[in-house]
Amino acid sequence: MRAAIPTLAAGLMLALAAPARPDCSSVSFDSDFPIQLNLVGTTAGVPDALGETVFVLYDITHTPVPDCELSIDFDGCTGIRLASVQPWAGVTVECGAGPVGVLKAVSDEFGRVTLRVVGGASNTTSGSPANAFACAIVTAGPMQGVLNVGAFDQNGGGGATPADVSVWLADAFDGDVEGRSDYNGSGTVSPADLAVLLGVILAGGSTQSASAYCH
Ligand SMILES: [Ca+2]
């Protein structure tokens, strides 16, 4: 009987060291993938709540899929810049060799992935190269989606200020659709987006830019 004790203990330790993970491959089209993610600044170190974006992962029976990694590939997003340190709990960034970077986070017990992503754009002068509409690719298990990426901190410095409105206006009037300046995923750069940007500036949750960017 003595020999059974260490065997049992070893089995328990193994179970503790490697908990069973739900099968990420069960993530289905029933999941909630938003089409819009707006990059934010911080105030007192806290990422702006006005950029909070929630994904919910479900299987085919609408049962939440917890503990599943969701990734967002921003490398197709010209001119978008990710903070190289992401202060929102559970968000990790892999700056990588590409031009922008990849973000990762894991779903909670309700299948939710709640993100506040710190970053901006490089819209410093009229006509600065911009990300196209829906430039990012979201992956969770077998499911993929596209995501438009807006940036309240258009010029990547000083937080969200009237200077960002100034360069936003150039995007609004040039007839193109710069993803960075579309904050509601409509595929247009319109007064509705300006209202969002002004609301962010007035609310004061994006007063500081990232201290360092991936690229
Ligand atoms: Ca700015």
pLDDT tens digits, 52-96:
999 999 999 999 999 999 999 999 999 999 999 999 999 999 999
Q: What's the gap in Å between 76 CA and the centre of ligand 1?
A: 22
How far away, in angstroms, is 34 Cα from ligand 1 center? Answer: 25
User: Residue 209 and residue 191: Cα distance in Å, rounded?
Assistant: 24
Distance 102 CA to ligand 1 centre (A): 22
**Dihedrals phi, psi of 198, to nearest 5 degrees:** -65, -40
In the reported structure, the alpha carbon of residue 25 is separated from the centroid of ligand 1 by a whole-number distance in angstroms of 40
Is 25 in contact with 142 (CB distance < 8 Å)?
Answer: yes
pLDDT digits (tens, 9 = 90+) for 145-181: 999 999 999 999 999 999 999 999 999 999 899 999 9
Positive/negative CA dihedral, 149, 199, 177, 122: negative
Say how many Å lie between the CA of residue 122 and the centre of ligand 1.
9
The CA 162 to ligand 1 mean position distance, Å, reads 8
29 pLDDT more than 90? yes
Mean pLDDT of the 177-204 span: 98
CA of 86 to the centre of ligand 1 (A): 18
Whole-angstrom distance, CA of residue 154 vs CA of residue 165: 8
Mean pLDDT of the chain: 92
Q: Is the per-residue pLDDT at 11 higher than 60?
A: no
Residue with token string 């300006």: 194
In this structure, the strands spanning 102-106 and 69-73 are antiparallel
User: How many A from CA of 54 to the centre of ligand 1?
Assistant: 25
Cα→Cα distances 48→3, 26, 40, 69, Å: 57, 32, 6, 23
The confidence score (pLDDT) of residue 22 equals 63
The residue written with tokens 């360092």 in the block is: 212
Which residues fall within 8 angstroms of residue 94, CB to CB, at 6 or more apart?
101, 102, 103, 104
| C-alpha span between 91 and 103 (Å, rounded) | 7
Compute the average pLDDT of residues 124-131: 94
CA of 81 to the centre of ligand 1 (A): 12
| pLDDT over 60 at 2, yes or no | no
> In the chain, pLDDT over 70 holds for what percent of residues?
90
Q: Ligand 1 centre and the CA of 40: distance in Å?
A: 10
Q: How confident is the model at residue 18 (pLDDT cuts 50, 70, 90)?
A: low
**How large is the average pLDDT for residues 20-41?**
91
